[in-house]
Amino acid sequence: MENKVKKDPKYIFVTGGVVSSLGKGIISSSLANLLAARGFRVTIQKFDPYINIDPGTLNPYEHGECYVTVDGHEADLDLGHYERFTNIRTTRANNVTTGRIYQSVIDKERRGDYLGKTVQIVPHITDEIKRNVKQLGNTGDFDFIITEIGGVVGDIESLPFLEAVRQLRWELGRDSLVIHLTYVPFIAAAKELKTKPTQHSVKKLQELGIQPDVLVLRTEHDITAEARRKIALFCNVAPDAVVQSIDLPSIYEVPVAMHRQHLDDIVIRLTGAEAPMAEPHMQPWLAFLEKMHSADKPVTIGLVGKYVELQDAYKSIDEALFQAATYNGRKLDLRMIHSEKVTVENVDELLGEMDGVIIAPGFGQRGIEGKFTALKWCRENDVPTFGICLGMQCMVIEFARNVLGMADANSTEMDTTTRHKVIDLMEEQKSISNLGGTMRLGAYDCCLRKGTKAAEAYGAEIVSERHRHRFEFNDDYKGQFEAAGMICAGENPKTHLVEVVEIPGKRWFVGTQYHPEYSSTVLSPNPLFLSFVKAAIDYRAEKAATN
């Protein structure tokens, strides 16, 4: 019997320079996409330099969307990109913050694990970072571990992570490399691209003891071969390891652009990896891009939420809608509608042009009445409507108020004194003083009722989707809702908590307690989004036919 030699995984570190928000997550995801398409087993992790334990308590205006992994970890939104680009499922191990690192070290110190030694940044904090970097690699499940370091080189918060990277580069040798993403600005007055910021950024990285192996240059204008040679010369990087990441119409075109510049070949060569496939198998990805480019007719979706000013606040919903529109052969025309600005007087004007409406998730009282107003208008005008998490709860409350005649119906999150608690905490949750302990997080099963739109969309009776909420549909009211026309179309098979509600008599009026957007990827779009967008397209056609 042949003994297979276990190969150590290769570690790729992605750092950023000059300015933030250059797209380290997109570059990391694109590289993972290409390596996976070459037959490698790949995963990605994000190290965030902030002291919060996780982004679960951060306001979306601060940090954008909070993404949730299958095992219930509240994570950075870049993990959503990782999953959408690769179809992998991330976990708690894929996202680590400074807060978690320090918490772990302090817990060990309190237990006496350090035997009375003075606990310091080096080696104790850096050793904990390195332990977390290698955690996924130690499973033996992956050929490549891509580690994105949050922040910008030069930030004081990132220094322990970069010191850990420096140490790992020496320890791992050829089994690791560093990709540095920088910005090459265009000075409009001089009509000239400037390479000096990149040179300074690499110099700062070198001062920390890290020599990048590959440079990815973020730019709005094409960088000439001469400019790239200059950057390579001054940054001690091979000329063919300097690639550009120019602005593209869609982030989903980035993997193709990186492959054209041989980024995957460069990484494979520099790490000495043996590629199972000479060229990446990208036919399904290219087919999606072809659908995206060929779509010429729009579908107009209104997203009603209270964080609409920030582009990344509903990132996973935006991308799930875009994927669903593409697979339905349409261009997504997404209109952001602030729920605080929706009133009885202007709702017809705000929503009248919409082919479909999303009622967004969220927490808290602000903007909630605007969501009720939008839902009443959508229900009465039979517009395809999709409520997600709090959006589903708002569907229930609006129905209770305006159909069941419970004028004060509400969630106890908004009003603890309401007589009709149609949305409430479960009994076992009410005794928990720590609000974080009452959250339902991660993937849970849902049993769908046969013949419902949800079951037809999934083509299955049991599905698993991710949650992020603490309040639930109050089962005491189930009979009244169903008698009046809103059915409970899905429930958890163990707890019997309601997961899906819908009104069968409407074109498409469905609410989910879970977040189906988290599981939607380019190659596996979520079925509910596909079904919702299809209903919106059909409604648009009906409107056109009658006008």
Average pLDDT, the chain: 93
Residue 459 covered by a domain: no
Q: Kindly report the pTM of this predicted structure.
A: 0.93
In this structure, is residue 436 part of a structural domain?
A: no
> Residues 17, 203: contact at Cβ < 8 Å?
no
Same domain, 239 and 308: no
Cis ω for the linkage preceding 123 (within 30 of 0): yes
The predicted structure's pLDDT at residue 52: 87
Write out the DSSP string of 48-95: E-SSSSSGGGS-HHHH-PPEE-TTS-EE-THHHHHHHHH-----GGGE
> How many CA atoms lie less than 13 Å away from 397 in the CB half-sphere?
29
Residue 116 counted as domain residue: yes
Range of the domain at 267: 11-271
pLDDT tens digits, 154-170: 999 999 999 999 999 99
Quick one: 438 exposed, middle or buried, by C-beta within 10 A (0-12, 13-18, 19+)?
Answer: middle
Looking at residue 429, what is its pLDDT?
56
For the cut 60, the answer to whether the pLDDT of residue 393 exceeds it is: yes
282 is a domain residue:
no
Are 336 and 376 contained in the same domain?
A: yes
The half-sphere exposure of 302 on its side-chain side, counting CA atoms within 13 A, is 23
With cut-offs at 50, 70 and 90, classify the pLDDT of residue 364: confident
Give the mean pLDDT of 448-469.
96
Q: What is the pLDDT of residues 520-547, one digit of tens each?
A: 999 999 999 999 999 999 999 999 998 7
pLDDT band at 214 (very low <50, low <70, confident <90, very high): very high
For the chain, the residue count is: 547
Q: Which of 271, 301, 325 is the last residue of a domain?
A: 271
CA distance 420 to 99: 41
pLDDT of amino acid 2:
42
Domain shared by 295 and 369, yes or no: yes
Radius of gyration of the chain (CA): 25
Share above pLDDT 70 across residues of the chain, in percent, rounded to a whole number: 96
pLDDT at 190: 85
Q: What are the structure tokens assigned to 226, written together? A: 């001469």
* Structural domain includes residue 529: yes
Q: Where are the beta strands (DSSP E) in 86-175?
A: 95-97, 144-149
- Residues 309-325 have a mean pLDDT of 93
| Averaged pLDDT for residues 493-504 | 96
Of the residues 236, 271, 306, the one at which a domain ends? 271
Q: 441 or 435, which is more confident? A: 441
Q: Is the same domain home to 349 and 398?
A: yes
Reading the block at residue 521, the tokens are 């990827």
Q: Are residues 77 and 149 in the same domain?
A: yes
Predicted local confidence at residue 439, as pLDDT: 82
Residue 3 has pLDDT above 60, yes or no: no
pLDDT band at residue 486 under the 50/70/90 scheme: very high
CA dihedral sign of residues 482, 488, 489, 491: negative
- 400 vs 422: CA distance, rounded Å: 8
Work out the number of other CB atoms within 10 angstroms of the CB of residue 350: 21
DSSP state of 190: T
According to the model, what pLDDT value does residue 507 have?
96
Confidence of residue 425 (pLDDT cuts 50, 70, 90): confident
Instruction: Let me know whether 291 and 341 are in one domain.
Output: yes
Q: What is the pLDDT of residues 12-33, one digit of tens each?
A: 999 999 888 899 999 999 999 9
363 pLDDT above the threshold of 90 = no
Give yes or no: residues 260 and 389 share one domain: no
Q: How far apart are CA 474 and CA 421, in angstroms?
A: 7
Q: What separation in angstroms does the CA of 448 have from each of 359, 394, 458, 459? A: 21, 21, 9, 10
- 244, 271, 298 - which closes a domain: 271
Regarding whether 320 and 236 lie in a shared domain, the answer is: no
Please compute, for residue 390, the number of CA atoms within 13 A of its CA located in the half-sphere on the CB side: 23
DSSP 147-171: EEEPS-TT-GGGHHHHHHHHHHHHH
Domain count, the chain: 2
Give the CATH number, domain containing residue 226: 3.40.50.300
CATH number at residue 301: 3.40.50.880
Residues annotated as catalytic (active site), given as ranges? 389, 515, 517
Residues of the chain with pLDDT > 90, as a percent, come to 85
Is 458 within the bounds of a domain?
no
For residues 324 and 250, membership in a common domain is answered with: no
| Residue 115 structure tokens | 């035997």
Is residue 392 domain-shared with residue 248, that is, in the same domain? no
Task: Tell whether 262 and 411 lie within a shared domain.
Answer: no
DSSP state of 460: S
Nearest to 418 by CA among 466, 460, 474, 465: 474
pLDDT band at residue 420 using 50, 70 and 90 as cut-offs: very high
Whether 429 is covered by a domain: the verdict is no
CB-CB contact of 420 with 406 (8 Å): yes
Tell me: do 372 and 262 sit in the same domain: no
Q: Is residue 128 included in any domain, yes or no?
A: yes
